[in-house]
Amino acid sequence: MTMDSQVTHEGIASVLTNLMPKLLRFAVSLTKNKDDAHDLVMDIFSKFLERFNEKKEFPDNLEAYLIVSIRNRFRDQGRRNRKQTSFDEIDDFFEPVDDTIPSDPFMKKRIANAFGKLTDNCHEILTLIANGYKYSEIKELTGKPINTIKSSVFKCREKFSTHLYGSERRHLGK
């Protein structure tokens, strides 16, 4: 994707900020800390912009490019020793979307706690699924086989359900 002659700083910033919610969600699934997630995303933006300034063109799939960059950077840097923040605390980065949509803050907290008890792998995959990625796309982003992704999605949701609802859930017998 080559640069349009009408590209401005504001235009480039708009493209990145539109992607930021997804990227922040994904980054939090890795870092478990909202500030680390923010720093990670901004760091990736910085690297991308340096590349863009040189080549003056966007990658064909910018979103996927940034997701992979975040993932790789996190793997390289590892997690910092910051206190783990709750997954719902990332809402601080977002504008309120629609005040008319009712939300149960207690339920939201329960959901956040249940999600927080899952493994890193579950965090990553469930976040990508929730943001519209297909299994085949997740395979491209993570390098994991589709069958593994399919299996992980199922197991992670099962665990999440157990954490959220406890022993009240009924299980099907084998």
Phi, psi of 97 (to 5 degrees): -85, -55
Using CB atoms within 10 A of its CB, is residue 70 exposed (0-12), middle (13-18) or buried (19+)?
Answer: buried
Q: Which is nearer to other proteins, 75 or 174 (CB)?
A: 174
Nearest Cα neighbor of 120 from 145, 68, 166, 84 is 84
**Binder to other proteins among 55, 84, 117, 130 (CB under 8 A)?**
130
Question: Per-residue x/- marks for other proteins, 40-79, CB under 8 A?
Answer: --x--xx--xx-xx--x-----------------------
Is residue 12 within the footprint of other proteins (CB under 8 A)? yes
Rounded Cα distance, 22 and 27, in Å: 9
Terminal Cα-to-Cα distance of the chain (whole angstroms): 51
- Check if the beta carbon of residue 126 is closer than 8 Å to that of residue 28: no
Q: Which stretch binds other proteins (CB under 8 A): 16-24, 64-72, 73-81?
A: 16-24
Q: Which stretch binds other proteins (CB under 8 A): 13-21, 62-70, 75-83?
A: 13-21
Question: Per-residue x/- marks for other proteins, 137-166, CB under 8 A?
Answer: -------------xx-xx--x--xx--x--
Q: How many residues bind other proteins (CB under 8 A)?
A: 57
Q: Which is nearer to other proteins, 78 or 99 (CB)?
A: 99
- Check if the beta carbon of residue 84 is closer than 8 Å to that of residue 25: no
